[in-house]
Amino acid sequence: MRSLLLLSLLVIGMALDSYCQDRSYGRSVVITDRGIVATSHYLASQAGAEILAKGGSAMDAAITANAVLGVTEPMMNGMGGDLFLLYWDAKTGKLYGLNASGWAPQKLTIDYLKSQGIQTMPHDGIQTVTVPGAVDGWSKAHQRFGHLEWKQLFQPAIYYADHGYAVPEIIHDLWAEAEPKLEKTEEGRRVFLPQGRTPQIGEKFRNPDVAKALQLIADQGRDAFYKGEIARAIISTSSIFGGTMQPEDLAQFSSEWVEPISTDYRGWTIYELPPNGQGMAALEMLNIMSSFSPDASGPQGTVELHKKIEAMKLAYSDLYRYDADPRFSKVPVKGLLSKEYAKQRATKINPDKANCNPGPGVPASDTTYLAAVDKDGNIASLIQSNYSAFGSGVVVKGMGFALQNRGALFTLDPNHPNALAPRKRPFHTIIPAFMERGDIHIGFGIMGGANQPLAHAQFVSNFVDYGMHIQAALEAPRFTVTGGEVSCDILIESRVKPDVIEALRAKGHNLIVRKEYTVLMGRGQAVLHNSRTGMNFAASDPRADGVAEPEPIAVP
């Protein structure tokens, strides 16, 4: 009898343990009272965490991690791309925004392109190259929030560029997809296809040219890039391919501190950066969603997914109609983000039928993301990108990095707010985010072109509406758009139940089912600081090769 009782207790105990351990997400959230760096590559996370251990701030760690990512994920980002930053200062409680996106060269005009027989904006090539803003963004952010010496921040990236690193699986796949673009130029082939092909998984890849460029920046600061040897190499490379970039286009560029925009979502304040980025679409989508209560069937139920997909279409229709460089065009941000306007747009959602092209309303007048939090609670939410894989495909001669193709997002329609113009910044897809309520402060972002605003909104809803912690909210099944157009074509992960997928199809959604975890949903990171307890939390997306790496202890 006693044995049966013990057996029964054991079975009950095992059942309880199994219940507690049963969960719908894969990774555990990382928790520590020290700092954490979360990126899409483990070497970058590790390098940033070690900078924290040396007394660096969250900003120091973010710059270091970003520099390493430019070496280890060269198709996604690097010094040839742009950068956006949100930085929360724990001591003052103030959130700062930095727009380090570059402008079009002075001589790159609609008339010039048409004189070359170009009628629509090309997707890659030298005419899509705008001034890279990342290095100036690093410099301005370090001047304001850095603790360690500038030169120290680039040593890990220089090491990996010079000595090499093993290519991981997801990066290998993205690299291989971009092979045709790299094969178009001699320098692209020489630097990034060293044996006439993409490096294999686990194969060591070295880039001594980019090590040289990083050393110049470490030694000479941002001027090495905009006025010095790197600038001269950029101008020379541009000239070889018939580009319009001139020395003054680089020398006169400066990134800009901007005021973040925000909205209230069920008691949480959600922040994004203002145009020329697309953050306002995430906020408008959340505003439209807030017109409805969260559905009891859960975040992957038919009702909830239909609502979110339709809210996304409405927000994106407005985004593509109005977003542009606010220095050139009046962007009605206040009207687009008003609660009254959101309620008006929400009435366009038919609960039984998908609207494939809702059109814009009339309001009142390849990428990498990383997050870092230090032991003091300062948070860097940073995103940086070349746009598409290896950007323009033009690799700067002797410097080992590709120039971005952000100019591809301009239009050649002179009447559109986003029309190409000299010294104008194009519509930008990359957006960092931040949210807070009371003692809880979260830096987060999910990369991936047009995917980003809708991915931000899904993350926020998972966390706020359905009580997930940041790792579960990041891992949860997502949907996304198939391209830059508003339509009923929607990609969705196969973890969404088949009956829900069929019910959504019955409403008119053309769902394209991908595998359980697809990089097409973007690769996200998140950090959370509790200012009452001093505890930090971090999450890293399983859709990438990265980790959330806690700050190590100093070993004597």
Residue 555 is predicted with a pLDDT of 66
Residue 7 is predicted with a pLDDT of 42
Which has more pLDDT, 555 or 58?
Answer: 58
Distance CA(477)–CA(492), nearest Å, equals 8
Tens digits of per-residue pLDDT, 134-157? 999 999 999 999 999 999 999 999
User: What is the average pLDDT value for the chain, to the nearest integer?
Assistant: 93
Residue 367 is predicted with a pLDDT of 73
Crossing angle of the two packed helices 208-220 and 58-72, in degrees rounded to 10: 150
CATH architecture entry for 259-367+444-550: Orthogonal Bundle (1.10)
Residue 363 is predicted with a pLDDT of 82
Question: Is 367 a known active-site residue?
Answer: yes
Tens digits of per-residue pLDDT, 376-400? 999 999 999 999 999 999 999 999 9
Residue 88 scores a pLDDT above 80: yes
Tens digits of per-residue pLDDT, 271-322? 999 999 999 999 999 999 999 999 999 999 999 999 999 999 999 999 999 9
Length of the chain (residues): 556
Cα 496 to Cα 24, 451, 514, 523: the distances in Å are 12, 18, 10, 18
Every domain range in the chain assigned CATH 1.10.246.130:
259-367+444-550
Residue 87: its H or E element: strand 82-89
| Mean pLDDT value across residues 360-367 | 73
Tens digits of per-residue pLDDT, 498-550? 999 999 999 999 999 999 999 999 999 999 999 999 999 999 999 999 999 99
Distance CA(396)–CA(237), nearest Å, equals 6
CA angle 469, 472, 476 (to 5 degrees): 140
Residue 92 scores a pLDDT above 70: yes
Buried b (16+ CB within 10 A) or exposed e, 8-20: eeeeeeeeeeeee
Residue 271 is predicted with a pLDDT of 98
Distance CA(502)–CA(491), nearest Å, equals 14
Residue 361 is predicted with a pLDDT of 86
Crossing angle of the two packed helices 302-322 and 498-506, in degrees rounded to 10: 60
Tens digits of per-residue pLDDT, 420-473? 999 999 999 999 999 999 999 999 999 988 899 999 999 999 999 999 999 999
Distance CA(394)–CA(181), nearest Å, equals 9
3 state SS of 26? coil
Residue 492 scores a pLDDT above 70: yes
Both tokens of residue 108?
Answer: 């790159």
Report residue 556's pLDDT band, with 50, 70 and 90 as the boundaries: low
Other Cβ atoms less than 10 A from the Cβ of 552: the count is 13
Q: Which residues pair with 395 in a beta bridge?
A: 402
Q: Where do runs of H (alpha helix) occur along 2-57? A: 2-21, 42-53
Distance CA(540)–CA(548), nearest Å, equals 5
Residue 359 is predicted with a pLDDT of 87
Residues 524 and 21 sit within 8 Å (Cβ to Cβ): no
Catalytic residue (one of 367, 368, 429, 480): 367
Tens digits of per-residue pLDDT, 14-41? 343 444 467 888 889 999 999 999 999 9
Both tokens of residue 159?
Answer: 């090491």
Residue 21 is predicted with a pLDDT of 65
Report residue 484's pLDDT band, with 50, 70 and 90 as the boundaries: confident
Residues 275 and 473 sit within 8 Å (Cβ to Cβ): no
